Chain A
Amino acid sequence: MLSLNKIQVTQGTFELKAHFDVDAEQNVAVVGPSGAGKSTLVGAICGFIDLSAGLVMLHGHDITQAQPDARDMAMLFQDNNLFPHLTIAQNVGLGIRPALRLTGDEVGQVNDALARVGLTDFGTRKPSELSGGQQSRAALARALVQSKSWMILDEPFAALGPALRAEMLDLVAEVAAETKAGVMMVTHAPEDARRISDSVIFVADGVAHGPQATTGLLDNPPPALKAYLG
């Protein structure tokens, strides 16, 4: 279980508060208006943004002060997920061990992950030789080999077309289910939330509200969410 215990993030005049738990292996969407603090919330959870108050707990351990790599989470960013000067295989391999030489077993793991996301034979290419969708798949393959208990996604497929995005979301959900990982995904599209998430965290007016069942929340939105959804 991931617990946010009265956390508070302060950036200049902006403040974000959250106090809720998320169950393991859940698929959760984070929605809310632009600038409400969705990215700040997941950044704080992953350890990229310092808290001004509160605790982050994972599996019952306090990880508030832990370095990003010591948290049991893998994150996919909006862009710049891949090092442009490394091959796809090397980029994925970094998820197993932050070194460029892998053992035979590890190479096998990388190839399996690439095959799982449909990038067999792409291992020797550079990111610039891949399409946007393929680059997202490569980043997902790395998250796969990281085998963390949470995958955190910050609008990862925003640049992709609707069909491709749906396909990627399904792939994320499948991969997460296979590795028994939870997924927390920032999105501004309610249909994305409906597609893969069990529950929704709504962020608005400096507060991140605890997860509520997706269908119920989106069908009967409270006033603030209703205003956002339009």
Chain B
Amino acid sequence: MARNAKPINNAAGIAAATFVVAAVLLAFVGIGLRVETFSGLGPAEWQAIRFTILQSLLSAFLSCVLAIPVARALARRRFWGRAFLITLLGAPFILPVIVAMLGLLAVFGRSGALNDILAMLGISKISIYGLQGVVLAHVFFNLPLAIRLLVHGWQGVPAERFRLSAQLGFGRGMMFRLIELPLLMRILPGAFALIFVICLTSFAVALTLGGGPRATTVELAIYQAFRFDFNLGRAALLSLVQLFVAGGAAVLAFWLVPSISFGGGMDRMQRRWDGQVRGARVLDGAFIFIAASFLTLPLLAILTSGLRGMLEVPLIVWSSAWTSLWVALISVLVLLGTALPMAGWIATSRNGSVEVIGLLGLSVSPLMIGTGWFILIYPIANPTDWALPVTIAVNALMALPFALRILVPSIRETIQTYGRLSSALGISGFAMWRCVLWPRSRPRIGFAAGLTAALSIGDLGVIALFGDPDRSTLPLQMYRLMGSYRTDAAAGAALILLVLAFGLFWIMDYWGRRNAIA
């Protein structure tokens, strides 16, 4: 863009970015105010750091490797219900963690369906606890992301390239070398780094499935330092370690990662000529079947146990669901209010490196932000009154890096394509957003909003730290039910949570894609 023809004003974007940086910095300041002693890291913390990196590497590696055959099969097979299956396979990524754990245990647990089958076959049981359990859960959450990125990549290969390959009679090896390998090289490093970062800050998974202190993650160590030892110095130090590792990987990820697209266009299908022999068909079918089973059986388990528990769900769960719903909706508004101006700024800036600011959300511990703000808010207001606003802000902050990844490419492309036309017509500033950017990016906006809503509604988040007995979110209420021996009702609450998360995602994504002109 020529400097004198900027189609949108960057002030709002810079303000939003400043807000994000300030939110994180202030939290550190808040904690810094109260740090009394800076103790170093003991063997337990080092072990946590090692384990966190190990499990993240393994989770990212397995998610990527397993995604290759599945994505390839999905990209080149046409079958009834394909588009629906691809949508369904994306579900675990937006599934609230505490809900997913129930489903995973029901399938892979010691008394789960899989072990029952193994027992019938006389095979010894497999254990979901320990490193393998943590990795299994992380693969469950992130395999869908890797599959989506790869399927999208495959569909981005120009049709002529497949025609050319067909015409030149490429065999499997040549298809791989000339089409698939470059594609994988382009997409996998970014997908790997992204999943690595997501797994680094994982908390709840390691809590239940870790199997013991061997499997302590950094986020868990931060939690312990805060809540039990009340050692703010160590918590801050661990947060910095996490910020450093996750931030480093995240910066890498976002230099490498392809733009995320889950939404429209997935059902468009290219005619393919490779892999038509029977062996390849059978193998592709098997990969699709295994992946579909792995990713959907836990969902099915949540559905069945939830339906059984539904009758026991007390009334208060519904009011919590209502609270969660509007917390999620406001989180979406806050997110869009922050992400859209930032995306506009990033899209028009000469290099996109400001997007790194958005990564703060992925790398920083929510607990740390919550505590920092608590310390700052306390002298001026009752933190309990601020529980939901802080939760909303943190939710938006956590979703920001994903939203930017989704929005920036679309806005950049729109400005490249229509920027000059708009300038010539004198469309700029808010009018540019209203007449050009918003309608052009609507599918992406809907997708980002849906993702934020789903992630927000399932997040236990900082609300537990601030606590307001009269106003609880659905995940918190679910924990309370579990803490009061009411596991059946908790299963019912889990189902409500699942329906809300998927429902919100679907509605917003649908709104984005409805009548969208590609």
Contact = CB atoms under 8 A, between A and B. Distances in A.
Interface string A70-110: 10011101111101011000000011001110000000000
Nearest to A68: B166
Interface in A34-70: 46-50, 67-70
Given A80-B161, A83-B161, A74 B178 contact: no
B174 interface: yes
B248 interface: no
> Which one of B160, B164, B167, B177 has the greatest number of beta carbons of chain A within 10 Å?
B167
Contacts of B161: 80, 83
A79 B167 contact: no
A98 B166 contact: no
B158 interface: yes
Contact of A81 (B160, B166, B174): B160
Contacts, number: 54
Interface string B144-168: 0000000000000010110110111
A230 B116 CA distance: 76
A160 B174 CA distance: 31
B509 to A, nearest CB: 25
Contacts of A77: 160, 163-164
A146 B168 CA distance: 9
B273 interface: yes
A67 B271 CA distance: 12
Contact of B160 (A69, A73, A80): A80
A68 B178 contact: no
A68 B163 contact: yes
B169 interface: yes
Contacts of B171: 98
Contact of B273 (A67, A79, A83, A94): A67
A79 B160 contact: yes
B168 A69 contact: yes
Contact of A98 (B158, B170, B273): B170
A68 B163 CA distance: 8
B469 interface: no
B279 interface: no
Contacts of B177: 100
Given A47-B166, A98-B169, A98-B174, A68 B158 contact: no
Nearest to A100: B177
A95 B170 CA distance: 10
Nearest to A142: B168
Interface residues of A, number: 26
A95 B168 CA distance: 6
B164 A74 contact: no
Contacts of B483: none
Given A68-B273, A80-B158, A48 B166 contact: yes
Nearest to A83: B178
Contact of B164 (A70, A81, A85, A100): A81
A69 B169 contact: yes
B42 interface: no
Contacts of A73: 167
Among the interface residues A69, A74, A95, A146, which one has the most CB atoms of the partner chain B within 10 A?
A: A69
Contacts of A81: 160, 164
Contact of B167 (A50, A75, A83): A75
A75 B169 CA distance: 13
A77 B158 CA distance: 11
A77 B167 CA distance: 11
Contacts of A48: 163, 166, 271
B183 to A, nearest CB: 11
A205 B167 CA distance: 29
A16 B164 CA distance: 23
A61 to B, nearest CB: 17
A70 B166 CA distance: 9
Contacts of B178: 83, 86, 94
A143 to B, nearest CB: 10
Contacts of A70: 169
A79 B164 CA distance: 11
Contacts of B164: 75, 77, 80-81
A145 to B, nearest CB: 11
A46 B271 CA distance: 13
7 shortest A-B CB distances, which residue pairs?
A: A69-B169, A80-B160, A68-B166, A77-B160, A80-B158, A68-B167, A98-B170
Given A69-B167, A98-B170, 11 more contacts: A48-B271, A68-B166, A69-B166, A70-B169, A77-B163, A77-B164, A79-B158, A80-B158, A81-B160, A98-B169, A98-B171
27 contacts: A46-B167, A47-B166, A48-B166, A50-B271, A67-B273, A68-B166, A68-B167, A69-B168, A75-B167, A77-B160, A78-B160, A79-B160, A80-B158, A80-B164, A81-B164, A83-B161, A83-B178, A85-B182, A86-B178, A94-B168, A98-B169, A98-B170, A98-B171, A98-B174, A99-B174, A100-B174, A100-B177
